[in-house]
Amino acid sequence: MKTTLKGLTLCAAILAPTAIAGEHVIYELNGQSYEGYWAKVNNTAPLVLLVHDWDGLTEYEEKRAEMLNEMGYNVFAVDLFGQDVRPTKVEDKRQHTGELYKDRAKLQALMNAGLAEAGKLGGNLDNTVVMGYCFGGAATLESARAGMPVRGFVTFHGGLKTPEGQSYAQTKAPIMVLHGTADSAIPMSEFAGLAVELEENGVNHEMITYSGAPHAFTVFGSDRYREDADKKSWTAFSTFLKETTGS
């Protein structure tokens, strides 16, 4: 769930007066067009692959990309639904995410295609972190389980349950999970279950919860937005980026 960007207290504190302009990029996978968002700082900056929630790639992801630009990171916001597919009705959002949850091979292919496109645009694939919100967080963990060769994975209030037949045995990089304890969509039982899985598979991980934070607590202007949890989780994410990318 997402609303228009209002009351950007967090942005005012983090963004410089002028943001770096990004560009929309059309790319293809298996004959279908997708529209990502490329926001570049310079040729050598670390890359963040940003994954949208069930609204599709919107101005929210573009704003987060700008925030990351100001911190010195190149960003490619991947599109998992397709060009011009930006659902607004809940039933449509459920349809698009549900189709990908049922076809994990396609979800992994879309994530890989986004990463490959970022590389073509000049993104540093040797120094990349993948991060996502809600559905995008679940997609991020999908790539972690598939063994995507990046420096780290971060999920904000994302889906945490491991599908049957999958595991973290192939995960090659640390994982950060940022989650609200008041999240009724993704209960703390799944959070605890993931912690056990990561430990059993020897995956370096950090998992942080925020009291009173519901699902989608980072979404500016929404009734679910929690400024304290948003700021604290962004700070934790920023530290993770510095430690994993070296910058």
**What domains lie within the chain, and their CATH numbers?**
9-16+40-245 (3.40.50.1820)
The pTM of the full predicted model, rounded to 2 decimals, is 0.91
Specify the pLDDT at position 222.
95
DSSP H/E element including 133: strand 124-133
Per-residue pLDDT in tens (0 to 9) along the chain, 247 residues: 444 343 333 333 333 334 467 999 999 999 999 999 999 999 999 999 999 999 999 999 999 999 999 999 999 999 999 999 999 999 999 999 999 999 999 999 999 999 999 999 999 999 999 999 999 999 999 999 999 999 999 999 999 999 999 999 999 999 999 999 999 999 999 999 999 999 999 999 999 999 999 999 999 999 999 999 999 999 999 999 999 999 8
Residues whose CB is less than 8 angstroms from the CB of residue 108 and which lie 6 or more positions away in sequence, other chains included: 142, 143, 146
Specify the pLDDT at position 45.
97
Report which of 54, 82, 65 is spatially closest to residue 22, judged by C-alpha positions: 65
Q: b/e string for 121-155 if b means 16 or more Cβ within 10 A?
A: bebbeebbbbbbbbbbbbbbbbbbbbebebbbbbb
Specify the pLDDT at position 20.
63
